[in-house]
């Protein structure tokens, strides 16, 4: 059995950051275990390659929700990145810190030490955004760029938003989030800048870091109430590794609670139903699942060329040549071009809905197949859903996916916010600045007008936007899984460091918050190691 100071389970966003920070001094021996492969594909550095990677089982675990009545019995895709770099290999690269109030709410919910004043330095530490104000990081490992490509219809959308009374906001990550502008993305000189590039690559040559890809951790090993290490599968055989100091679970919101339950940590009745011996009772494992739920509104457009046509035939060939010669053009685009953060009621202190505008529309969103005719899309997502779901094992088999039950649109405030957000999006599109381009609304269409019709459209068509959090919630109450130092409550030598520890949803895409959690978590781990 090999011995290490720290074992990191999962080579995604948080795992790569911990691997870098914990090996930096050369003092600690670290083992990084990742079930997927190395980040090797021609599509990974190409921003638009996400459409290829998102449906590739080599890079996506391909999870799905259980059928639920709230969405008329549909199963909904829950993509999770697989491979060194995790979801940063396949996501849309959008970078959103969230609102200061989000993190202040974490502290109020029992995550002491996680108020915005506590976490803001870690955002600056990870950012490399030279064009930002002094409140933005300039020299961090993660390169950020504002979306560089400009299109007339996108500029017209921004003008329409202003005509609707919405503010223009050039940097939604600097103090005030409200308003419209171009997204900031994790790219460098037109290439995807993944966690593997920013954090893992600089650490790979360190002698105190051992990386094992293709290593599927199947259970944690305990002696009494202390985690001693892990058992993982490598090339079809079981391998054991011992952690002298701590085992750090970084598998994300879907798989971190799964591993805890497979290892005997969770709800006793659930574990016993699957023949798993109870090591430690923690009723909150797999509870408090929160996810952003979004609808896509579509319009057929005219008097312009959209991505639908530009991604075909000779035009696409020209775009490919442009990208390889200049690192510009449509291959630099991810999932969002223009952002919008709006308040659906004047009584709200901060925005509660996020928009993703792109001049493209899907014929088949699940398979990433674009329409043949010109179109545009506005994705509409409620920022801070109150609906809560669960993620629990369905079997003691570590290769079987857990049961993901989001319980979307259960809370009335979620329904109201999403419907109002869609109504405001339609109102913006009806402003004069866009009329030169709009032919007609295709989804949901002009026949949808009252609240029940809007809500029905959302239940029939809404999807996740791949931001699961909360299933190993940190806090100080009896149902919290981790304490505010990310230690699993009641177990020594074990922490969870990933999106699953977030007690409440942040207002926007979650990758920035995950990076912050890992940076702050690394500091906590190193502080405790010296104590």
- State the Cα–Cα distance between residues 353 and 418, nearest whole angstrom: 7
Best CA proximity match to 92, nearest among 501, 525, 512: 512
Residues 6 or more apart whose Cβ sits within 8 Å of residue 150: none
User: How many degrees, rounded to 5, is the angle at CA 339 between CA 359 and CA 459?
Assistant: 75
Structure tokens at 18: 């911990």
Active site residue 467: yes
Distance of CA 154 to the CA centre of its chain: 25
- State the Cα–Cα distance between residues 159 and 349, nearest whole angstrom: 24
- The dihedral over CA atoms of 49, 52, 57, 60, expressed in degrees to the nearest 10, equals 50
Around 152, how many Cα atoms within 13 Å sit in the side-chain half-sphere?
Answer: 12
Structure tokens at 312: 């075909």
Around 19, how many Cα atoms within 13 Å sit in the side-chain half-sphere?
Answer: 33
Best CA proximity match to 293, nearest among 462, 469, 49: 462
- State the Cα–Cα distance between residues 170 and 375, nearest whole angstrom: 25
Best CA proximity match to 258, nearest among 389, 405, 388, 392: 392
Which are the catalytic amino acids? 467
């Amino acid at each position: 059995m090999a011995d290490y100071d720290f074992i990191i389970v999962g080579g995604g966003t948080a795992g790569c950051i911990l691997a870098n920070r914990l090996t930096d001094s050369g003092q600690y021996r670290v083992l990084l275990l990742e079930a997927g492969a190395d980040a090797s594909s021609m599509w990974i550095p190409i921003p638009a390659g996400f459409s290829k990677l998102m449906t590739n089982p080599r890079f996506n675990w391909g999870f799905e929700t259980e059928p639920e009545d709230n969405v008329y019995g549909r199963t909904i895709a829950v993509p999770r990145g697989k491979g060194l770099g995790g979801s940063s290999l396949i996501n849309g690269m959008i970078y959103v810190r969230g609102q200061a109030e989000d993190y202040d709410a974490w502290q109020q919910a029992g995550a002491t030490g996680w108020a915005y004043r506590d976490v803001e330095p870690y955002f600056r530490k990870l950012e490399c955004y030279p064009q930002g104000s002094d409140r933005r990081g300039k020299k961090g490992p993660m390169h950020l760029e504002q979306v560089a490509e400009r299109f007339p219809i996108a500029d017209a959308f921004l003008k329409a938003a202003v005509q609707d009374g919405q503010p223009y906001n050039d940097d939604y990550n600097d103090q005030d989030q409200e308003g419209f502008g171009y997204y900031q993305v994790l790219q460098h000189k037109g290439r995807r800048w993944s966690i593997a590039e920013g954090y893992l690559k600089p650490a790979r040559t360190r002698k105190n870091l051992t990386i094992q890809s293709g290593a599927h951790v199947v259970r944690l090993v305990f002696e009494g109430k202390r985690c001693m290490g892990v058992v993982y599968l490598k090339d079809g055989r079981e391998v054991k590794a011992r952690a002298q100091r701590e085992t750090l679970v970084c598998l994300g919101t879907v798989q971190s609670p799964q591993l805890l339950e497979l290892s005997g940590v969770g709800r006793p009745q659930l574990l016993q139903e699957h023949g798993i011996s109870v090591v430690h009772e923690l009723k909150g494992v797999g509870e408090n699942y929160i996810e952003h739920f979004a609808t896509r509104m579509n319009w057929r457009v005219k008097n312009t060329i959209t991505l639908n046509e530009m991604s075909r035939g000779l035009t696409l060939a020209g775009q490919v040549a442009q990208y390889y010669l200049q690192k510009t053009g449509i291959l630099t685009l991810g999932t969002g071009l223009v952002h919008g953060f709006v308040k659906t009621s004047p009584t709200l202190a901060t925005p509660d809905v996020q928009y993703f505008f792109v001049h493209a529309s899907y014929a088949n969103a699940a398979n990433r197949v674009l329409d043949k005719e010109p179109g545009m899309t506005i994705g509409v997502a409620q920022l801070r859903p109150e609906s809560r779901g669960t993620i629990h094992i369905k079997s003691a088999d570590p290769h079987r996916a857990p049961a993901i039950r989001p319980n979307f649109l259960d809370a009335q405030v979620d329904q109201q916010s999403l419907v109002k957000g869609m109504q405001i999006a339609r109102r913006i599109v009806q402003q004069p600045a866009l009329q030169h381009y709009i032919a007609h609304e295709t989804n949901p269409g002009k026949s949808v007008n009252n609240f029940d019709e809007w809500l029905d459209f959302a239940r029939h068509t809404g999807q996740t936007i791949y931001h699961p959090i909360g299933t190993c919630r940190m806090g100080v109450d009896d149902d919290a899984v981790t304490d505010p130092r990310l230690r699993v409550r009641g177990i020594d030598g074990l922490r969870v460091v990933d999106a699953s520890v977030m007690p409440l949803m942040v207002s926007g895409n979650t990758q920035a918050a995950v990076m912050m959690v890992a940076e702050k978590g690394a500091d906590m781990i190193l502080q405790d190691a010296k104590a």
